[in-house]
Structure 1
Amino acid sequence: SVLFVKMIKWFLAALVLSLTESGKPPRPQLPSYIKVCHRSDPNLNDCVRESVERIRPYLSQGIPELEIPGCEPLILPEIVMNQGKGSIMVQSKYKDMQIYGPSQFKLRSVKVDTEKNKVKIKLYLPRLEMIGNYSIQGRIMMLPIAGHGISTGNYTDIEATAVMQGEKYEKDGETYLNIKEFHTDFSIGHASVHLTNLFEGDKQLGDSMNEFLNDNWKSLAEEIKPILEKTISDLFKKFSNKIYQKYPLDVLLPP
């Protein structure tokens, strides 16, 4: 009957309204294992630190609800390093780099400035191992280098600082945060690298070049550091904004 149809329509409308707030889409909820911190908390930095520590066990496999990919290994799809000045003049590309060890970080400090929408994190990484495909052509400290194959690297005692700068914006009656700047800076205690198939597989030349790279790793690392920092910053800026675009500020960091 017409009355029955109207009742069904009313029921469906009431159901939809019950799932929304003033007609707005329902707020997404954070996973239950995440400790929520309040921006009015006088000990906010300590709370955020504890929250990060709580999600550590989940980082290796990733957190789909936050669109955080697994970091054991962390995948860098591509790193392009075209260096045309200083002691390194090369064109190189690294693809499908797998990085092992990121989840073993130790937090040094966390500083959250809610007024300036700024976060600064200092952390220590005992060890990172990297493996992936590479191609390289050019000169390093006047020595020619050429090859394509597998690149492996071991890096220890890494001190890193990350600074995020956000800006607020409104969407659907909610306040969100957009990360407009993400900067990283790091120092490495020690590094060792190995490149296979250098000089079309010439073992003697390849061994000599790998020995040279390891003997001079510190000065070479300083040369390529800006490119690596930008690559890492761009990657984590992308990850961060996926989270901030999904959750309103009052869900991530309520008053």
Structure 2
Amino acid sequence: MRKTMCTLVNAITISLGLSVVVALDDLPQGFPRCHRSDPELEKCLLEATETVRPYMITGVPNFLPSIQNFSIPQVVLQDGNEVLNYRAQFNNVTLYGLKTTNSKNIALTIKI
């Protein structure tokens, strides 16, 4: 379960960074841009996530919430196979210490 929670925390951190880098057309000055057509997209996203991390810690008003004491209304973890299955649901989750996390790699599949 600890490994699953660590993976969840990293996924949330990376997702926040990616949403800033990829989704917005009008990024603040200093925010990197990654394009889906980039052959090294994963590398670009990893570097971009690390670049925007300081902004993620403090937040940017009307643009990006702070990840300090980041609250999530509900988290559902589910995994399994034919022998063992589990499902865990957590409500009103607050994550602490996200400013000390780091991302080592990003693997993604883009579906259009």
Instruction: Give the TM-score normalised by the residue count of structure 1.
Output: 0.25
2:100 to 94, 97, 104: 104
Look up the equivalent residue of 1:61 and give its one-letter code.
T
Asked if 1:34 corresponds to 2:31, the answer is yes
2:45 to 21, 41, 48: 48
Q: What is residue 57 of structure 1 aligned with on the other side?
A: 54
Deviation at 1:113, TM superposition (A): 3.1
Change (3 A) 1:37 1:28: closer
Report the identity percentage: 29
1:75/1:98 contact within 8 Å kept:
yes
Distance 1:46 1:40 in 2: 13
Distance 1:76 1:33 in 2: 28
Residues 138-188 of structure 1, C-alpha deviation per residue, up to 9 Å, x if partnerless? xxxxxxxxxxxxxxxxxxxxxxxxxxxxxxxxxxxxxxxxxxxxxxxxxxx
1:60/1:73 contact within 8 Å kept:
no
Look up the equivalent residue of 1:72 and give its one-letter code.
Q
Look up the equivalent residue of 1:55 and give its one-letter code.
V
Distance 1:28 1:41 in 2: 17
Distance 1:52 1:29 in 2: 17
Distance 1:74 1:58 in 2: 14
Distance 2:72 2:44 in 1: 30
Unaligned runs of 5+ residues in structure 1 are 1-26, 80-92, 118-255
1:167-178 residue pairs with structure 2 within 5 A?
none
Unaligned runs of 5+ residues in structure 2 are 1-23, 76-89
Distance 1:77 1:44 in 2: 31
1:31/1:65 contact within 8 Å kept:
no
Deviation at 1:72, TM superposition (A): 0.9
**Which structure has the bigger radius of gyration?**
1
* Two-structure CA RMSD over aligned residues (Å): 2.9
Structure with more of its chain in strand, by fraction: 1
Distance 1:112 1:94 in 2: 27
Instruction: Give the TM-score normalised by the residue count of structure 2.
Output: 0.52
Change (3 A) 1:94 1:33: same
Deviation at 1:45, TM superposition (A): 0.9
| Higher RCO structure (Cα 8 Å, ≥6 apart) | 2
Look up the equivalent residue of 1:109 and give its one-letter code.
N
Deviation at 1:33, TM superposition (A): 1.9
SS state at 2:47 partner: helix
Distance 1:112 1:65 in 2: 28
Change (3 A) 1:65 1:110: farther
Q: What is residue 185 of structure 1 aligned with on the other side?
A: none
